[in-house]
Amino acid sequence: MASIPPVLVAVSDRAAAELMVDIMGKDYGAVLGEADGEPLIVVVPIDDTRRGVVLYRVIQASRTVAARYPDAKLFLLTEEGSRWRLPPPAL
């Protein structure tokens, strides 16, 4: 059985990262860590189906975080190493 990759969110501001973990932590098990001296949020989905739900909720939560911390930079880190800015622009 292949392991499900975690959803990773890099945040430039610790208070913004703590808010994201507060929003995501209880329901999705978000954990605040650190990588290269920057806050890093890790959410491990329990299966592939819920990985999509976690990604969707990260995008939603990023809107709240960005509204409260407009100077914070949030990025979704993809498995292939891309950094996607959060929240994404409106379509």
Q: Does domain 7-86 have CATH number 3.20.110.10?
A: no
Q: Which helix (H) or strand (E) holds 40?
A: strand 38-43
Q: What is the DSSP letter of 78?
A: P
Confidence class for position 2, pLDDT limits 50, 70, 90: low
% of the chain beyond a pLDDT of 70? 98
Residues 6+ apart with CB under 8 A from 44: 4, 6, 7, 29
**16 - beta bridge partners?**
none
Q: Where are the domains of the chain?
A: 7-86
pLDDT tens-digit series, residues 47-62: 888 999 999 999 999 9
